[in-house]
Amino acid sequence: MNIGFIGLGNMGGPMARNLAAAGHTVTGYDTADVHIEGLATARSAAQAAAGRDVVITMLPNGDILRRVAAEILPAMTPGACHLDCSTVDVESARAVADLAESHGLLAADAPVSGGTGGADAGTLTFMVGASDAAFAMAKPLFDIMGQKAVHCGPSGNGQAAKICNNMILGVTMIATCEAFALADKLGLDRQAMFDVVSTSSGASWSMNSYCPAPGIGPKSPADNGYEPGFAADLMLKDLRLSQLAAQGADADTPMGAAAERLYARFVEEEDGKGRDFSAMLPRFRARGRSS
């Protein structure tokens, strides 16, 4: 395919490179001066979008997505597909899809899970909100950039799936970190804690696959000084999106709200900014009950 790719940061850059390496013609654009091997470089977002079969966006938030969409959608050829892989609010995703359809375009919101490692390795999971036609058009690209793509329903449902998943992840990581901190203070060895919980009813992805305790379980950011695989800043962003959606849907999510408050404190008032979201463990370990 002839692909435009807008947003060549830590996630978008490797994704675009993998598409080019697979033989697609990829023209990239980023507001920063970014050059990716195998990509042609456009001078504007509209230029990157003009005449392409698929235009992929990977952008920081819904406001930027709306602005970029207003620029690129009129430049696209009717029948082409706008594939947005950003993580944004559901309302923005649906508004951009409606705008795309008004220009005679296909649209899909397809936020990802798997972090920068998954983007580089081509092992991302895509959660896709789209029509059947848009999903079918984008599916060969998902197969290159990732290992799984789930069609979650119409536009906006990809974002809904992403924020629900990451709300669970934020809550379970906090619970896992709290439990390790408690185990430490009770004199329970961390390896024994892991051996019990990872094979018992407390098992979770946060414990089994991304353990926040250094030297325990499979290698994780905890073993690298909590350098981010998934930054606490990004977890806070996703938790805020979950609570925005919960407010709009009149959904009661007290654990999600509590996780949002804790990550906000960690990132904005403590030392969590720029650290992995599992760095909650040393945070809890250093605190007493009345802290």
**Strand runs labelled E in 110-145:** 112-113, 124-130
CA distance 281 to 147: 30
CB-side neighbour CA atoms (13 Å) of 264: 10
Q: Which of 139, 148, 162, 185 is catalytic?
A: 162
Inter-CA distances, 56 with 27, 73, 101, Å? 10, 11, 16
CA distance 103 to 108: 14
Nearest residue to 179 via CA among 290, 270, 278: 278
Fill in the DSSP letter of residue 78. Answer: T
Cα 127 to its chain centre, rounded Å, is 10
Stated as kind and residue range, the H or E segment containing 81 is strand 81-84
Active site residue 219: no
Please, are residues 276 and 232 in contact by the beta-carbon 8 Å criterion?
yes
Which residues participate in catalysis according to the annotation? Answer: 162
